[in-house]
């Protein structure tokens, strides 16, 4: 069969986190527990915000969108991994792999842009408090969310549309628990220069752009907080953005850790193990971070739980 036809008949094998059969039940239970906590925690945040009129503000609108994206983000990778472990099958079809890559890139980009948007919201709230309601109108908030979705979809499409041009051999092992685009592209039998160029260019542009916006926002926020005379005022201003800053640090810190581990460590499973931090652990911790120091969220969650039980 000609190499150009291999793309349409190929089946990928996801090697997962470990090939040791004895570890599979432990991995299954661990990831199932984390997935259930992630979905229930983020869903509870969304429902609490939607059910409480007092939380229908720009900050909580963005938080609800972030929680929904975290649910979708984790659901893109973990359920397939759990099914593979349960059925003792590592196979994923070409079409399913392409689909998984698209949604993974989409939700990673959405996380990036929503965190940047939330940083802008905190910048306006602290640096321009008197004009906050005038600047952060409902129309602007909707436009910002739609803008995040539009750019993220285009980013995912630009990377995915270049994959079908590659030719794959009929047997491809991916040392990962999901179809990570770099792992898939680098196992092609044809030239991957254009794909690599697009992946790195878009990653720098769409990863560095939101991060630069967040850093700029916080540089202005720090300047505004330093100008506040009372210690209580400084603490109150900082507490409004502490949760967001924690999530940003966790998201970008784990992402950087994945990159460093993939370049410094030559163990084939090390990038997969490091990816667990930002694909599973970070979305799981976000609801706890945002509810830990936020009395409004805690109150709304308690009210919603009383309605359920």
Q: pLDDT (tens digit, 0 to 9) for every residue of the chain, 309 residues total?
A: 344 444 445 688 898 888 888 889 999 999 999 999 999 999 999 998 998 888 889 999 999 999 999 999 999 999 999 999 999 888 898 889 999 999 999 999 999 999 999 999 999 999 998 999 999 999 999 999 999 999 999 999 999 999 988 888 767 888 889 998 988 888 888 888 888 888 888 878 887 889 999 999 999 999 988 888 788 878 877 877 888 888 898 888 877 766 666 555 555 556 677 788 888 988 999 888 887 767 778 887 777 777 776
Phi-psi region of 273 (alpha: psi -120 to 50; beta: other; left: phi over 0): alpha
Dist CA 189 CA 308 (whole Å):
54
**Helix-, strand-, coil-residue percentages of the chain, each rounded to 5:** 80, 5, 15
In three-state secondary structure terms, 186 is coil
Give yes or no for a contact between 78 and 54, defined as CB atoms under 8 angstroms apart. no
Say how many residues make up the chain: 309
Give yes or no for a contact between 284 and 41, defined as CB atoms under 8 angstroms apart. yes
Q: Which domains does the chain have, with CATH numbers?
A: 3-308 (1.20.1070.10)
Residues 6+ apart with CB under 8 A from 228: 234, 237
Question: Please, what's the b/e burial string for 86-98 (b: 16 or more CB within 10 A of its CB; e: otherwise)?
Answer: eeeebebebeebb
């Amino acid at each position: 069969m000609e190499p150009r036809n291999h793309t349409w008949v190929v089946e990928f094998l996801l090697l997962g986190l470990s090939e040791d059969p004895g570890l599979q039940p432990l991995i299954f239970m661990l990831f199932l527990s984390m997935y259930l906590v992630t979905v229930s925690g983020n869903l509870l945040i969304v429902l609490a915000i939607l059910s409480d009129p007092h939380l229908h503000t720009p900050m909580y609108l963005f938080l609800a969108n972030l929680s929904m994206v975290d649910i979708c983000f984790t659901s893109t990778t973990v359920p397939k991994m759990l099914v593979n472990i349960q059925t003792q099958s590592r196979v994923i079809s070409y079409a399913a792999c392409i689909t998984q890559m698209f949604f993974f890139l989409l939700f990673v980009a959405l996380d990036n842009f929503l965190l940047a948007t939330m940083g802008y919201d905190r910048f306006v709230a602290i640096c321009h408090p008197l004009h906050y309601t005038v600047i952060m109108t409902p129309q602007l908030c909707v436009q910002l969310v739609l803008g995040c979705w539009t750019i993220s979809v285009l980013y995912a499409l630009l990377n995915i549309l270049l994959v079908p041009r590659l030719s794959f051999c009929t047997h491809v092992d991916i040392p990962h628990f999901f179809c990570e685009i770099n792992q898939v592209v680098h196992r092609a039998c044809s030239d991957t220069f254009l794909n690599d160029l697009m992946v790195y260019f878009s990653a720098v542009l769409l990863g560095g752009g939101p991060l630069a916006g967040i850093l700029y926002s916080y540089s202005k926020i720090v300047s505004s907080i330093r100008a506040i005379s009372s210690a209580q005022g400084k603490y109150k201003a900082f507490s409004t953005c502490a949760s967001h800053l924690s999530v940003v640090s966790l998201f970008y810190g784990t992402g950087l850790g994945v990159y460093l581990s993939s370049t410094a460590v030559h163990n084939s499973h090390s990038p997969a193990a490091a990816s667990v931090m930002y694909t599973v652990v970070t979305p799981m911790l976000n609801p706890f971070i945002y509810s830990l120091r936020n009395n409004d969220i805690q109150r709304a969650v308690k009210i919603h739980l009383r309605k359920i039980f």
